[in-house]
Structure 1
Amino acid sequence: MKTVNMLEAKSSLSRLVEAVENGVAKEVIIARNGRPAAKLVPVDNHPTERRIGVAKGRFEVPDDIDQHNDEVARLFQRGTVK
């Protein structure tokens, strides 16, 4: 755990964030007048929650959307459709 004063945190915020992102420092305590005031920690890399229907009403699916499925499959499977 690294502790820095407010002035140092202001002048080197990018470096401190990079250290936390890269795991060089697990957390950085920012102190004001020698007393801990805030903690800089990495954000959890958990995927954000996906919502179903988020694009509802923004576009219409054409009736012939599946028209080229076989052709696309052949392109991906090097000319053979299984």
Structure 2
Amino acid sequence: MQVVTIHVAKTTLSQLLARVEAGEEIVLARGRNPIAKLVPLKPAAGKRRFGALRGQISVGPGFFEPLTEQEIAAWE
């Protein structure tokens, strides 16, 4: 992880961003004091599709049965 001063960061921002895109982390410093970190963003999770697991999982009829007194007590 490289430390870069704000002055250098302002003059070489495009190159720093290219390095961050490649996976590198860069710390920005004011003088010798670190104040921020440039890190690559993680890609957003894919959008969920309704019914994507249809046919792969199933719920048995026991799932819909009322809970026993012991099961209710365990939840409390």
User: If the length of structure 2 is used for normalisation, what is the TM-score?
Assistant: 0.56
Number of residue equivalences:
49
SS at match of 2:16: helix
Q: Choose the corresponding residue for 2:37, options 36, 39, 55.
A: 39
- Runs of 4+ off more than 4 Å: none
SS at match of 2:35: strand
CA separation of 1:3/1:47 partners in 2, compared to 1, >3 Å: closer, same or farther? same
Aligned to 1:78: none
Q: Give the letter aligned to residue 10 of structure 2.
A: K
TM-align CA RMSD: 1.9
Aligned to 1:11: 11
Gaps of 5+ in 2: 49-76
Deviation at 1:38, TM superposition (A): 0.5
Gaps of 5+ in 1: 51-82
Higher helix proportion: 2
